[in-house]
Amino acid sequence: MKPELLLSVDSKQSFWIDPRTKLYMLVIFSIVMIDGKTDGISFWLKPILALIPFFLLLSGRRKKIAIIYLIVFIVSWTVNVFLVPYMGLIGTIIISLLAQFGTRWFPSAMMGYYLLSTTKVSEFVLAMQRMHIPEAFIIPFSVMFRFFPTISEEAGSIGNAMRMRGITGKNFFKNPQAVLEYRIVPLMMSVVTIGNDLSAAALTRGLGNGKKRTSICKIGFHWKDFALMIIVTAALLVFLLF
Amino acid sequence: MDKKKLNAKDFINIGIFTVIYFVMFFITGMLGYIPIFAVIIPLVLGILGGIPFMLFLTKTGKFGAATIMGTLVSVLCFLMGQSWISIPFGIVFGFLADLIFKAGEYKSWKHTVLGYCVFTEWVIGSMLPMWIMRDTFFEAYRSKGGTDEYINAVMGLTANWMLPVVIVLGIVGGVIGAYLGKAILKKHFVKAGIV
Contact state of B188 with A185 under an 8 Å Cβ cutoff: yes
Residues A72-89, buried b or exposed e (16+ Cβ, 10 A)?
bbeebbebbbeebeeeee
Q: Where are the domains positioned within chain B?
A: 8-127+162-192
- State the sign of the Cα–Cα–Cα–Cα dihedral A225, A226, A228, A233: positive
The residue in chain A having the minimum alpha-carbon distance to the alpha carbon of residue B6 is: A136
CB B74 within 8 A of CB B90: yes
Q: Do A1 and B147 touch (CB under 8 A)?
A: no
- Torsion angle of the four alpha carbons B69, B75, B79, B83, in this order, in degrees rounded to the nearest 10: 130
ipTM exceeds 0.85, yes or no: no
What pLDDT does A102 receive? 80
pLDDT in tens for each of the 195 residues of chain B? 456 778 888 888 898 899 889 888 888 877 666 656 667 888 888 888 888 898 888 888 788 889 999 999 998 888 776 777 888 999 999 999 999 998 888 788 888 999 999 998 888 887 776 666 666 656 655 655 555 655 565 566 566 667 788 888 889 999 999 998 888 888 888 877 766
Confidence of residue A185 (pLDDT cuts 50, 70, 90): confident
CA–CA distance, A168 with A183 (Å, rounded to integer): 9
Residue of B16, B26, B57, B158 for testing the chain A interface, max A β-carbons within 10 Å: B16
Q: Is pLDDT of A10 > 60?
A: no
Return the closest-CA partner of residue A51 out of A17, A12, A77: A77
Q: Is A31 helix (H, G, I), strand (E, B) or coil?
A: helix
Length of chain B in terms of residues written: 195
| Pairs of residues, one from chain A and one from chain B, whose beta carbons lie less than 8 Å apart | 141
